[in-house]
Amino acid sequence: MKRGQKKERKQFFHVDIIDTAEEGLAIGRCDDGRIIQVKGAVPGDIADAIALEKRKGMYITKATTFHKLSAERTEPFCSHFGLCGGCKWQHMAYEAQLHFKAKRVRDAFQRIGELDPSILQPIVGAPEQQYYRNKLEYTASDRKWLTDEEMKSGEVIQKDGIGFHLPGAFDKVLDIDHCYLQSDPSNGIRLFIKQFCISQEWPFFNLRLKTGFIRNIIVRTNLAGEAMVVLVVGEDNPDWNKLLVDQLVENFPQIVSLHVCINTKVNDSIHDLSATHVYGQEALTEQLHHVKFNIGPKSFFQTNSVQARNLYALTKELAALQPGDHVYDLYCGVGSLGIYMADSCKNVVGIEQIAEAVVDASKNAELNSITNAEFVVGQVEMLLDPSFIERYGRPDVVITDPPRAGMHPDVIKHLLAAAPTKIVYVSCNPATQARDLKMLSDAYTVVTAVPVDMFPHTHHIECVALLQRK
């Protein structure tokens, strides 16, 4: 091959698409038996594909030509599908999505957890497959991604945009016309801010130089139709801040809370920054059945409120709490699960490593007049030891909802020592959940497990498992 000449990318022909994979990809089997991952395909398709990269010995490819279309295919409803990375399964019928999500849990339980798949109950589908999120974070950029149509138009193009980061292009933002993830007034707020900033000739953020005024917009909504907006700006300009806030309040009566955060850092995270309350309520209130939660500008909360009600009710049902039960809520976040359980047990002790979340948890307990819940700051693997159990009492029931990495081995060790009668394990990662269930299997029987779909049109799946001490 001559210097400067591009290496020809490997192609695969008549690939049989047989399963789904992580990141919204599909699994394909080639004629020679080789397994590849394919972008843009649905199980049941037969397609040609071209290699994009090779990762851990496996080709990641993109479908180019379809010889047969799967019966599970459906027409994507969003004009941004294929570019935006938010909803990678829109081309797959929802019933098929549920099938493959349940299969993912079943496969993990069998292969990793060595569990009998008959313990799995039918997957709980999401009641709403559009406009189900209660939080979105938009990014502003002075260099939006230009579509092929815009490039070919020959017209002067407005290059400022507000939308989502494109996968694999940190400095480019896909300008969003309409997003189906969050209900009104989310789209209206984003479009209004974009047009108003353009009309005022305020600079949009440059993601390479880290300069500019409007940088990020966080919109939170609740089931009552109210909204909180957090304006993240790249420079401190009080006059511009006030003008934008006043315009938002005037045009969107649904906004009940507004905050401004000044971020001059390299990264977009605001968890280590102050958000200044500038209008309305300090927090947005959400109600899930009998419990209310105040959600602040930086609070973690389940992003699908409708399905969260089902998830919490299911967790409580499996826990089958008794009035005298001591309950531990591990990785408790803002205390939502523990607070939801508190009316059915003697007391709740929550552990969470993020101090701000523990403050929120205590405030939420107070909001609901709950006096039998206490929340402690610290890493679960560091706190949950014999001295902690001696201080707070041996738990009868443990609720655990760890991050994707699952539970630390020390947590499992201390759980085995504490020997609660029941453990209810809520997970967003079937593989690490199955691993942890296997590590607990000498002392506990997995009685049942229920997959719950919190995020339609993505590969993500939650699962709630009930463990009973042998």
Known active-site residue 428: yes
Distance separating alpha carbons of residues 187 and 177, to the nearest angstrom: 8
Q: Which amino acid is at 98?
A: L
Compute the chain's Rg from CA coordinates. 24
Give backbone dihedrals phi and psi of 226, rounded to 5 degrees, phi first: -90, 160
Q: Quick one: which H or E segment has residue 193?
A: helix 186-199
Strands, sheet with 275-280, edge to edge from the N-terminal-most edge strand: 169-175, 161-166, 135-141, 214-221, 227-233, 255-262, 275-280
Selected catalytic residue, list 84, 197, 261, 428 = 428
Buried-state track 254-290, b at ≥16 Cβ within 10 A, e below 16: bbbbbbbbbbeeeeeebeeeebeebebeebbbbebee
Return the structure tokens found at 407: 């539970």
Distance separating alpha carbons of residues 468 and 465, to the nearest angstrom: 10
Distance separating alpha carbons of residues 224 and 238, to the nearest angstrom: 31
Confirm if 204 and 161 have CB atoms less than 8 A apart: yes
Distance of CA 304 to CAs 55, 223, 407, 454, Å?
Answer: 32, 10, 23, 6
Residues annotated as part of the active site = 428
